[in-house]
Amino acid sequence: MPILPIDTGRYGSPEMRKIFDEENRLQKMLDVEAALAWAHSQVGNIPETDAKKIIQKASTKHVKLERVKEIENEIRHDVMALVRALAEVCGSSGEYVHLGATSSDMLDTATALQLKEAVNIIENRLNELESVLLERAEKHKMSITMGRSHGQHALPTTFGFKSAVWTREVARTIQRLQDCKGRLLAGKMSGAVGTQAGLGPKALKIQELVMERLGICAADISTQIVQRDRYAELTCVLAILASTLDNIASEIRELQRPEIAEAFEAFEQKKQVGSSTMPHKRNPMISERICGLAKLLRSLVSPALDNIPTWHERDLTQSSCERFVIPEECILIDYMLILMIKVLKGLQVDEARMRKNMDITQGRMMSEAVMLKLAKKGLGRQKAHELTRQLAIKSHNEQREFKDVLAENSTIKQLLSAKEIETVMEPQNYLGTVPKQIENVIKKTKKERKARGLAE
């Protein structure tokens, strides 16, 4: 009976869940057994006819999951259950199944095969997310909005600038994942405690052949298990990515508040329901889901790091833990990426409201621009700061336009003309290098995408 949201199909894409289902896991382990038999035949350890028979039967078409479970219930060993089930369908060739190998050779190499497929899906999602953010950065390059610090109005910026910042954050995760892959996607065929003694004098060649056939690299050296720093690194990378998605989703949630109302998740007005009791509600539910799942992703870092220590050459403390961690982190981050892409593609940006919100502080957001203008006019930076601060407080206390308070001050009248005050109070004139920075981000990101073989 399905229990968790992943099991019920509520969370996770079909393609990612398929990678970690029992049937596919069994097939990956059978693939490793087949590759081992083939490698033995290539170095003359077993007859080619027997290797071909094992390869032919190493499929879930012949080795049924139900039969493997039946044997496991009897002997209490999952890998040996698979070995026996495969040997059963191979006839006399079954004597060569699992020759010289240990359970972890199958388990860890099969995990590498699963992760190869999973990381490929995650990379594709990241490429799409990066593309969507690039489009947002270009589209809203000059969509002026209120920049905020401490939740307070600070200085003008643009929504395109926000998107460009997010673009590079995602780009860095793509780089991290690419760097991680070479260390992560490693299998092994090293036998008990890693000495390869059971595989014979041609053990290193057998390991090389197995990994070449499977399309992954061989661990440089391992004990009876592949060392878990590899998996922990992936978990850390995915946790960073989850926090990036959390960051973007949190901003969207804030911007959707009625008090701000600058950006909104798409809402299907004909059918979508925002609340079971408040018909007017339009909640940022997808962004909230992303933020919620990010908590879960980050919580997986600790057990992943705890899986690195092992007693001597191996124990089983990693096994039970990573049966949860590895599928969960891949399924959830994939799902979060799908959600984030959906939100950003359908995001509704209200530029008029952005400009209206900038008027809330009656122009006081331009105080830095005024201060620096006065400093350039010879007042001095510190005196200009104090004068502008006092006038900003006066504007706030009297609820008057900042430019009007400025215009009536005797010191400012001596230094700035009415036209200069109007000019310095225009937010569009105080965007600094925003357009250029966005252009640089777009150019750099497109260059990186081209290097990855993607269209601009």
Going from N- to C-terminal start, the domains of the chain cover 117-135+155-184+224-357, 360-430
Structure tokens at 230: 């590899």
Residue found by looking up tokens 């999952």 in the block:
78
pLDDT on residue 2? 86
Secondary structure E strands in 125-266? 144-149, 152-158, 186-187, 217-218, 263-264
Given the candidates 1.10.3720.10, 1.10.40.30, 3.30.590.20, 1.10.150.530, the CATH classification of the domain at 360-430 is 1.10.40.30
Name the pTM for this structure: 0.94
Number of H helices, E strands in the chain: 20, 6
pLDDT in tens, 405-452: 999 999 999 999 999 999 999 999 999 999 999 999 999 999 999 999
DSSP 209: H
29 alpha carbon, distance to own chain's centre: 27
Contacts of residue 366, defined as CB under 8 A and 6 or more positions apart, other chains included, come to 402, 424, 425, 427, 430
| Termini Cα distance of the chain | 46
Which residues are bridge partners to 158 per DSSP?
144
**Pick the residue with more confidence: 2 or 92?**
92
CATH of domain 117-135+155-184+224-357: 1.20.200.10
Q: How far is CA 317 from CA 161, 303, 308, in A?
A: 46, 10, 10
Contact 267, 282 (CB under 8 A): yes
Contact 206, 43 (CB under 8 A): yes
* Rounded Cα–Cα distance for residues 99 and 54 (Å): 12
Mean pLDDT of 307-331: 96
Active site annotation includes 417: no
What sign does the CA torsion over 353, 356, 360, 364 have?
A: positive
pLDDT in tens, 24-53: 999 999 999 999 999 999 999 999 999 999
Residues recorded for the chain: 456
Work out the percent of the chain whose per-residue pLDDT is above 70. Answer: 97
pLDDT on residue 267? 66
| Among 149, 150, 320, 410, the one annotated catalytic | 150
Q: How far is CA 4 from CA 1, 8, 10, 37, 301, in A?
A: 10, 6, 9, 38, 20
Which residues are bridge partners to 153 per DSSP?
148
390 alpha carbon, distance to own chain's centre: 46
* Other Cβ atoms within 10 Å of 332 Cβ, number: 22
pLDDT on residue 274? 61
Instruction: Break the chain down into helix, strand, coil percent, rounded to 5.
Output: 70, 5, 25
pLDDT in tens, 255-274: 999 999 999 998 675 665 66
| Among 13, 98, 190, 275, the one annotated catalytic | 275
pLDDT on residue 88? 97
Is the pLDDT at 254 greater than 90? The verdict is yes
One-letter amino acid at 196 equals Q
Is the pLDDT at 167 greater than 70? The verdict is yes
Query: In 284-358, which ranges are continuous DSSP H helix?
Result: 285-299, 301-306, 317-346, 351-358
* Rounded Cα–Cα distance for residues 376 and 228 (Å): 59
* Rounded Cα–Cα distance for residues 264 and 243 (Å): 20
Is the pLDDT at 276 greater than 60? The verdict is no
Q: How far is CA 77 from CA 68, 74, 80, 102, in A?
A: 10, 9, 6, 12
Which of 56-60, 90-94, 191-195, 282-286 is the least confident region? 282-286
Our CA angle for 332, 338, 340, nearest 5°, is: 100
Is the pLDDT at 277 greater than 70? The verdict is no
**Nearest alpha-carbon partner for 109 in 50, 167, 166, 191:** 191
Active site annotation includes 275: yes
Residue found by looking up tokens 């057990």 in the block:
303
Helix (H) or strand (E) segment spanning residue 348: strand 348-349
pLDDT in tens, 99-141: 999 999 999 999 999 999 999 999 999 999 999 999 999 999 9
Confidence of residue 290 (pLDDT cuts 50, 70, 90): very high
Is the pLDDT at 183 greater than 70? The verdict is yes
pLDDT on residue 368? 96
Which residues are bridge partners to 148 per DSSP?
153
Strands 144-149 and 152-158: antiparallel
